[in-house]
A and B are shown apart, each in its own frame.
Chain A
Amino acid sequence: MTTTSETSTRIRSRWAPYVTTVRYLVLFALVCVFLIPVYVLLVTAMKDPAQVSPSRMWNLPDSFSVDTFGEVWPTLEPGFRNSVLMALPASIISSLLGAANGFVLAKWRFPGADVVFPLILFGMFIPYQAILIPMRELLTDWNMVGGLSGLILVHIIYGLPITTLIFRSYFVTISDELIDSAQVDGAGMIRTLVFVALPIALPAFAVAVIWQFTSAWNDFLFGLVLTSTDSWPVTVALNNIAGGQVVPFHEAMAAALLASIPTLLVYVLMGRFFMRGLMAGALKG
C-alpha cells in the first residue's frame, strides 16, 4: 500500500505541471469557442454599415463605427424606457414583500408555515403558459392590459416565490437571540422586522433585487401578452426590430447588444450577488 501511494505521489508531482498546462489550454480553447457569438456580435455591430454583408461576417471591421447603434437606438429607445419603468418598481416591491415573507417564514413560524412554503415555491416553476389565459382575462377586467401597470403587477407577484426563498434562506442563518433580544426590549413583530432584521439583510436585498430586475428585464412572454405597441418592454421591441428576415443583420446585432447592456452591467458590477441568486433559484440557498 505504501509503495503504491509513494509512486502515485511521485507520478503526480512529475506530471503535475503538464496537467496544469493542458488544463489551461483546454479552458482557453473552450473560452474561445464560447465567445464566438460575442465576437460576431461586437464585430458586426461596430462595423461601418457600408461594410456590412453577411458573407463578411467573420472579418474584422476596416474602421470602427458606432453608426449602427445610432440607427437602431431611436426604434429601441421607447422599449428601453418602458423596461426601466417596469423592472425597477417590479423588482423593488417584489423584494420588499419577499423580505417580509422570508422573515416570517424563518423566524415567526406561524402554524402551517411548513405547508405554505413549498406551495409558494411551486409558483416559481410553473410554466407561465398555464396562467396566461386567466391572467389576461382578469387583467383585462381590471383594465390593466395594454399599459405597463399589468406587467409590473405580474412581475411583482410571480417574483414573490424566489424573493421569499432568498430572504428566508438568509434569515434562517441569523441567530434567534438577535430577534429574541429585540422582543425582550419590547419591539413587536413589525418593528423587529424594520429595525432589526431588514438593516442586516442588505446583501439578501441586493441578491433579490438583482435577480428580479434581470428576470423582469429579460422577460418576453408577459410583455407580449399584456402590452401594446406604446408599452412594449425592450425584449418585445427588440424582437420586432430584429425578428424579420429583411432586417439587416448588423442592426439586429446592435439592437441585441443595446438591449442587453443594463443586465450585463449589473452582472459585471455585482456578479457575486447575481451568483447567489442563481444558487437560490436551484433551491440551493
Chain B
Amino acid sequence: MLRIRKWGPAALLVAPSLVAIGVFVYGFLGWNLRVSLSDWRGLRATYDFAGLDNYRRLAGDTRFIDGVQNVVVFTVVFVAGTLIFGFLLALLLERGIRGEAFFRTVFLFPMAISFIATAIIWRWLMSNASGAQETGLNKLFDSVGLGFLANDWFKADSYWAVASVAIAAGWALVGYIMALFLAGMRGVSDDLREAARVDGASEAKAFWHVIRPMLLPVVMSAIVILAHISLKTFDLIYAMDAKSRKIETPALYMWFTTFEGLNFSIGAAIATLLVLGIALVIVPYIWYSVRSERRR
C-alpha cells in the first residue's frame, strides 16, 4: 500500500507518455516488421505471411541496390566534409575571438530553416543549365575564370551526383558540428591547459596532448548523429530532385514504392532495413551516453 502511494502519482504522470511512445514507436516498429513479412500490395491491407520474400526481392532490385550505393556515397561525403569543416570552424573560434557570437550565429542559422528551403536554394545554385540559361554556381565560376569547376552537380551521370546533395546537407549541419566541437574544447578547463603550458608545452603540444584526447567522444557523437541523419534524410533529396534515380536513397525509395507504387510490404521491408542500419550506430551510442552519465 505504501509503495503504491509512493510511486502511484509518478507512474500516473508518466503513463500517458509511456503508452504513447510504446504504441507509436515500439508498437509501430513491430507492426511495420509484420507488414514487411506480409504480401500486402494495393490499397487494402493484407497480412498473409510471406516470409522473407520482400527482403529477397530487394536483394535483387537494382533500384534498391543503386539507392544503397547512393546513400553510402552521400554518407561518406557528408560525414567527412561536415566533420572536417566543423572542426576547422571550431578551431578558428576556440581561443576567444572578437565577434565570436556573430560568427557562431552565422554558421548555425541553417539549423533553423527547413531542408525544403535549403534544397530550393541549392537546387538553383547547382543548376546545370548551359549557354544563355547558365546560372548558379556554374555561372559564378565562369565569370571569375574558374570555368573548369563548372559541372552537372546533382544531375551528373555518375554516382557522385549524390555528393552534390551532401554539399547542401553539409552546409546545413556544419554549424551544429562546430558547436559540438566548441563545447568539447571548452570542456577542457583552462587550468589544465595552463598547467600544460607551465610544464613547458607549446600551444600546439598542449592542444595535441591535452585537448585532442578529450575530443574523441565529440567526434564519436558527431559521426553517430551525422550518419543517422544521412540514412533517414528524405525532404532534402525529395525537394532537390524527387524524380532523379541518381540521387535516390532507400529513404526515398521507401516512400515512392509505398505511397505511389502501393507496394506496402516492400516499403515496410526497406524501412525495417533502415531501422536496423540506424540501430547499429544509435543503440551503442545511447547505451554509452546513459552509462557514462550514471558513472558521473
Contact = CB atoms under 8 A, between A and B. Distances in A.
Contact of B290 (A5, A41, A117, A239): A117
A189 to B, nearest CB: 4
Interface stretch (A60-68, A127-135, A201-209): A127-135
Contacts of A242: 120
Interface stretch (B20-28, B60-68, B76-84, B146-154): B20-28
Contacts of B21: 119-120, 123, 157, 160-161
B17 to A, nearest CB: 5
Interface residues of A, number: 100
B251 A127 contact: yes
Given A220-B115, A220-B235, A157 B24 contact: yes
Given A130-B32, A131-B32, A271-B105, A189 B271 contact: no
Nearest to B105: A271
Given A118-B290, A133-B267, A260 B24 contact: no
Which of A26, A138, A189 has the most chain B CB atoms closer than 10 A to its own CB? A189
B17 A160 contact: yes
A268 to B, nearest CB: 7
Interface string A199-240: 000000000000000100111110001000000000100110
B125 interface: yes
Contacts of B118: 37
Contacts of B282: 122, 125
B9 interface: yes
Nearest to B240: A243
Interface stretch (B50-58, B157-165, B207-215, B226-234): B226-234
A249 B5 CA distance: 64
Contact of A279 (B115, B124, B179): B179
Contact of A36 (B17, B125, B272, B285): B125
Contacts of B136: 40, 54, 57
A195 to B, nearest CB: 14
A282 B221 contact: yes
A91 interface: no
Interface in A265-282: 266-268, 271, 274-275, 278-279, 281-282
A282 B176 CA distance: 10
Contacts of A12: 202-203
A193 interface: yes
Contact of A23 (B31, B97, B111, B254): B97
Nearest to B103: A27
A218 B235 CA distance: 10
B115 A263 contact: no
B13 to A, nearest CB: 5
B112 A34 contact: no
A259 interface: yes
B112 A101 contact: no
Contact of B180 (A101, A132, A282): A282
B258 A218 contact: no
B109 interface: yes
Given A55-B133, A189-B10, A134 B31 contact: yes
Contacts of B255: 129, 132, 221
A131 B24 contact: yes
Interface string B32-44: 1001000000000
A127 B239 contact: no
Contacts of A105: 14
A267 B289 contact: no
A30 B89 contact: yes
Which of B222, B231, B268 has the most chain A CB atoms closer than 10 A to its own CB? B268
A284 interface: yes
Contacts of A5: 200, 202
A264 B109 contact: yes
A31 B135 CA distance: 22
A122 B157 CA distance: 38
B13 A253 contact: no
B87 to A, nearest CB: 13
A126 interface: yes
A135 B106 contact: no
B103 to A, nearest CB: 6
23 contacts: A1-B200, A5-B202, A31-B107, A34-B171, A97-B16, A104-B13, A110-B11, A117-B290, A118-B287, A127-B231, A127-B274, A128-B232, A129-B234, A129-B267, A133-B32, A214-B112, A256-B117, A256-B121, A263-B114, A274-B108, A275-B179, A283-B285, A283-B289
Given A131-B29, A164-B17, 18 more contacts: A1-B200, A58-B143, A108-B10, A110-B11, A110-B14, A127-B228, A129-B271, A132-B254, A133-B32, A134-B35, A190-B9, A218-B113, A238-B117, A252-B120, A263-B113, A267-B111, A281-B225, A283-B289
Interface of A: 1-2, 4-5, 8, 12, 20, 23-24, 26-27, 30-31, 34-37, 40-41, 54-55, 57-58, 97-98, 100-101, 103-105, 108, 110-111, 114, 116-123, 125-135, 137-138, 154, 156-158, 160-161, 164, 188-190, 193, 214, 217-221, 225, 235, 238-239, 242-243, 249, 252-253, 255-257, 259-260, 263-264, 266-268, 271, 274-275, 278-279, 281-284
